[in-house]
């Protein structure tokens, strides 16, 4: 029996390690180990509750906007103003988060995943005149692949022409991410780590100029999503049909829902949102979300047993020598069941929930590829759900821009209460994100975040049920144990993110030119 | 428009890991002209922040095994990609991002200032060792920035 370990610790600490036990070319069992010690709550304890909005954004370089949204919702609820946010505040929050999510979807497909399916080496034979493509070709022919390191792979199935075309889009997608970030910054003040989304609403005022400036960027993004991103995902799906079957995993998704459609409902579970909340299983039935059923289990995590429980009761007592444990990630479960989170979960809850626009969108794409809705539970199903999710949000934004009332307030004032509790549930691009707070003496007594990767990369729970990524890998055929491209494709489709916690530069190899300065 | 940029990279929640961001926050108070200051945090959007710039100073924590607080200086071409392994679960790291920025027409001249961390764990403040060294580190970054401002653009 062979063992494949993919452990990126050599480059970025605080990341994910995947161990797969392979027997006769098939993954028998997989273990996902999160090496990030979850303890940043310690930083928040004793601080002014309003600091949470600024500090939690620094948890992740990819999803700061989602953290700021979760924190603001959490504080709205703790401050008793959840049902009082002005209409403009609600819409501006949606627009800032929506633009950030679009950037993130594009990043995930083109920059984090496409090189699993697209042979960027095809540019080496490029004969055309595009200056940027030639600049990248130069890098490749100098043997200095740099950022374009192709994951060594002999399973590329697109034509030379299609490879060059998609490589060009890899570059175009950068420009699009920049446009989306610029759009988010129009109302967010700056990006990353926006300063616009705060408890009480948004600090920016909607002006006609700002609305127009947002709209023209949005139009370009919509054009890219409709004519490039979604068609590219469909093209890849057609070329790799087996990946519309494998990597399904637990086949139960959980969405908190996101993008507020009303301001008067304080309960976030009942509040009307663009993407609906709920759990969807393989039979395509929608089960209501029940936050009280969410518990984090720690049997296989390096935490003391008393750290198990509801997120609001969650303690963080590390026990690095705990026998049998293998991860710093806890195992969140809904009513004891394993759930996958992500765009797939949002799209499914909205689709099964009967949203007509989502039904048309999903059915149209599935028909074009020639598969049924069950194919969504798969490696490329996740990518398709991200592209469809990007389109759904982008198509919703023009109407929101028109709903804004220029010059009117987007913020209401509040008092920090002596004692209170709050919950902020929303969605990061990569899945369900929850913040919880307890306030005592106007200070943070407890702050907990349950982030999307906690769900997806969770280890076995108290009943030894493997987490979503672990389940997605079990039974996968591996062609070449030394080069398990299948594992990379499947794991990356979940968009796991622990990387942002630590970003040390640890140079290796050459010591030439190293100068010790002081 | 500024041709020279100073970029701080790192996570502000992890004490010395956030040295790059601490440096940028201190520089922002100095109202320096002609230099673009960028707090890149741990964002993958790094290549766009440096678009349009010709020269760059990057500050990050660098674990090279020296005494805590030691400052290293390299140019980008002196650094190999951290790993040439062809299979990993990584997102794109700093060096790849710098090279990517170059391929997209970004800064050609890049100086990297690495600071050996003393403590990397949860906390918003630098360790006492780095706090003591901080004025020196700041001066060094300013000197690098000045040197880039003085030299002819290639």
How far apart (Å, rounded) are the C-alpha atoms in residues A118 and A140? 15
ipTM of the complex, rounded to two decimals: 0.86
DSSP string, A82-103: TT---HHHHHHHHHHHHHHHHH
Task: Enter the pTM of the model.
Answer: 0.92
Q: In sequence order, which residues have a C-beta less than 8 Å from that of residue A24 and are 6 or more positions away?
A: none
Which residues form the domain of A438?
16-111+158-515
DSSP string, A420-443: EEEEEEEEETTEEEEEEEEEETTE
Residues 67-106 of chain B whose Cβ lies under 8 A from any Cβ of chain A: 70-75, 78-97, 99-100, 102-105
Confidence of residue B152 (pLDDT cuts 50, 70, 90): low
Sheet containing strand A419-428, edge to edge, reads A419-428, A431-440, A443-450
Residues B93-122, buried b or exposed e (16+ Cβ, 10 A)?
bbbbbbbbbbbbebbebbbbbbbbbbbbeb
- The reply to whether residue B64 touches residue A12, judged by beta carbons under 8 angstroms, is no
* A52, two tokens: 């949470």
For B123, which residue in chain A has the nearest alpha carbon? A43
- The reply to whether residue A181 touches residue B48, judged by beta carbons under 8 angstroms, is yes
How far apart (Å, rounded) are the C-alpha atoms in residues A137 and A78? 54
- The predicted pLDDT at position B91 comes to 52
**Between A485, A496, A503, which is nearest B9 by CB?**
A503
The whole-angstrom distance between residue A308's C-alpha and the CA centroid of its chain comes to 24
- The predicted pLDDT at position B80 comes to 60
- The reply to whether residue B92 touches residue A111, judged by beta carbons under 8 angstroms, is yes
- The predicted pLDDT at position B85 comes to 40
- The predicted pLDDT at position A124 comes to 83
CATH architecture under which domain B4-153 falls = 3-Layer(aba) Sandwich (3.40)
Looking up tokens 């979940």 gives A494
Q: What is the CATH number of the domain that holds A461?
A: 1.10.645.10
For B74, which residue in chain A has the nearest alpha carbon? A514
Whether residue A106 contacts residue A383, with contact meaning beta carbons closer than 8 Å, is answered with no
Residues 183-202 of chain A whose Cβ lies under 8 A from any Cβ of chain B: 191-193
Q: Closest Cα of chain A to B94: distance in Å?
A: 7
DSSP string, A316-370: --B-TT-TT--BSS-EEEETTB--B-SHHHHHHHHHHTT-HHHHHHHHHHHHHHT
How far apart (Å, rounded) are the C-alpha atoms in residues A183 and A179? 6
For B39, which residue in chain A has the nearest alpha carbon? A192
- The predicted pLDDT at position B154 comes to 53
- Domain residue limits, chain B: 4-153
Nearest partner of B36 among B19, B23, B18, B49, judged by Cα: B49
Comparison of pLDDT for A260 and B52, the residue scoring more: A260
pLDDT of B10 strictly over 70? yes
Q: With an 8 Å Cβ cutoff, is B140 touching chain A?
A: yes
Mean pLDDT of chain A: 89
Residue A458 in domain: yes
Q: With an 8 Å Cβ cutoff, is B63 touching chain A?
A: yes
DSSP state of A243: G
Question: Which residues of chain A fall below pLDDT 50?
Answer: 8-14, 499-504, 507-515, 518
Nearest partner of A216 among A190, A183, A188, judged by Cα: A183
For A5, which residue in chain B has the nearest alpha carbon? B88
Nearest partner of B98 among B41, B50, B139, judged by Cα: B50
In total, how many domains does chain A have?
Answer: 1
Comparison of pLDDT for A16 and B87, the residue scoring more: A16
- The reply to whether residue A18 touches residue B104, judged by beta carbons under 8 angstroms, is no
Residue A353 in domain: yes
- The reply to whether residue A174 touches residue B66, judged by beta carbons under 8 angstroms, is no
pLDDT of B84 strictly over 70? no
Let me know the angle formed at the C-alpha of B81 by B15 and A489, rounded to the nearest 5 degrees. 90
């Amino acid at each position: 029996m062979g063992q494949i370990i993919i452990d990126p610790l050599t480059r970025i600490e605080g990341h994910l390690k995947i161990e797969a036990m392979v027997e006769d070319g098939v993954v028998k069992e997989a273990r996902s180990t999160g090496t990030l010690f979850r303890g940043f709550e310690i930083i928040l304890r004793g601080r002014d509750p309003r600091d949470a909005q600024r500090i939690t954004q620094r948890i992740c370089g990819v999803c700061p906007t989602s953290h700021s949204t979760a924190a603001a919702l959490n504080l709205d609820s703790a401050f008793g103003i959840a049902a009082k946010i002005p209409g403009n505040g609600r819409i501006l929050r949606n627009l800032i988060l929506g633009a950030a999510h679009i950037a993130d979807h594009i990043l995930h497909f083109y920059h984090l995943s496409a090189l699993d399916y697209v042979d960027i080496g095809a540019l080496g034979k490029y004969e055309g005149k595009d200056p940027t493509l030639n600049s990248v070709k130069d890098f490749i022919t100098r043997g200095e692949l740099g950022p374009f390191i192709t994951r060594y792979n002999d399973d590329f199935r697109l034509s030379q022409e299609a490879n060059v075309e998609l490589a060009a889009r890899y570059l175009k997608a950068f420009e699009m991410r920049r446009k989306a970030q610029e759009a988010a910054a129009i109302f967010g003040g700056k990006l990353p780590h926006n300063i616009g989304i705060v408890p009480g609403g948004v600090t920016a005022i909607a002006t006609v100029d700002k609305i127009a400036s947002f709209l023209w960027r949005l139009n370009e993004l919509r054009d890219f999503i409709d004519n490039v991103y979604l068609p590219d995902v469909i093209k890849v799906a057609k070329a790799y049909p087996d990946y519309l079957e494998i990597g399904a995993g637990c086949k139960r998704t959980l969405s908190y829902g996101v993008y507020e459609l009303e301001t008067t409902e304080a309960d976030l579970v009942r509040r009307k949102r663009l993407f609906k909340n709920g759990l969807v299983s393989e039979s395509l039935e929608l089960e209501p979300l029940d936050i009280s059923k969410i518990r984090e289990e720690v049997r296989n995590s390096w935490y003391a047993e008393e750290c198990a429980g509801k997120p609001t009761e969650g303690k963080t007592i590390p026990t690095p020598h705990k026998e049998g444990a293998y991860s710093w990630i806890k195992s969140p479960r809904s009513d004891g069941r394993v759930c996958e989170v992500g765009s797939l979960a949002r799209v499914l809850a909205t689709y099964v929930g009967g949203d007509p626009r989502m039904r048309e969108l999903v059915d149209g794409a599935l028909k074009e590829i020639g598969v049924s809705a069950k194919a969504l539970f798969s490696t490329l199903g996740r990518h398709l759900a991200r592209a469809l999710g990007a389109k759904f949000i982008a198509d919703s934004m023009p109407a929101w821009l028109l709903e804004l009332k220029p010059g009117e307030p987007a913020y209401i004032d509040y008092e920090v209460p002596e004692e209170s509790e709050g919950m902020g549930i929303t969605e990061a691009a990569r899945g369900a994100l929850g913040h919880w707070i307890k306030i005592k003496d106007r200070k943070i007594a407890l702050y907990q975040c349950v982030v999307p990767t906690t769900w997806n990369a969770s280890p076995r729970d108290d009943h030894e049920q493997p987490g979503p990524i672990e389940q997605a890998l079990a039974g996968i055929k591996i062609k070449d144990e030394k080069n398990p491209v299948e594992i990379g494709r499947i794991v990356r489709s979940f968009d796991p993110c622990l990387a942002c916690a630590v970003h040390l530069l640890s140079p290796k190899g050459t010591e030439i030119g190293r100068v010790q300065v002081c | 428009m500024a041709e020279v940029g100073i970029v701080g990279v790192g996570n502000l929640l992890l004490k010395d890991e956030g040295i790059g961001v601490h440096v940028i926050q201190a520089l922002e108070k100095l109202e320096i002209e002609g230099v673009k200051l960028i707090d890149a945090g741990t964002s993958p959007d790094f290549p766009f922040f440096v678009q349009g710039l010709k020269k760059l100073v990057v500050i990050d924590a660098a674990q090279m095994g020296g005494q805590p607080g030691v400052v290293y200086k390299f140019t980008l071409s002196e650094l190999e990609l951290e790993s040439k392994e062809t299979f990993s679960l990584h997102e794109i790291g700093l060096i790849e991002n710098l090279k990517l920025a170059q391929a997209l027409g970004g800064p050609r001249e890049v100086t990297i200032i690495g600071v050996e961390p003393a403590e990397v764990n949860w906390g918003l403040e630098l360790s006492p060792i780095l706090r003591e060294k901080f004025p020196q580190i700041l001066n060094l970054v300013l000197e690098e920035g000045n040197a880039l401002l003085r030299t002819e653009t290639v």
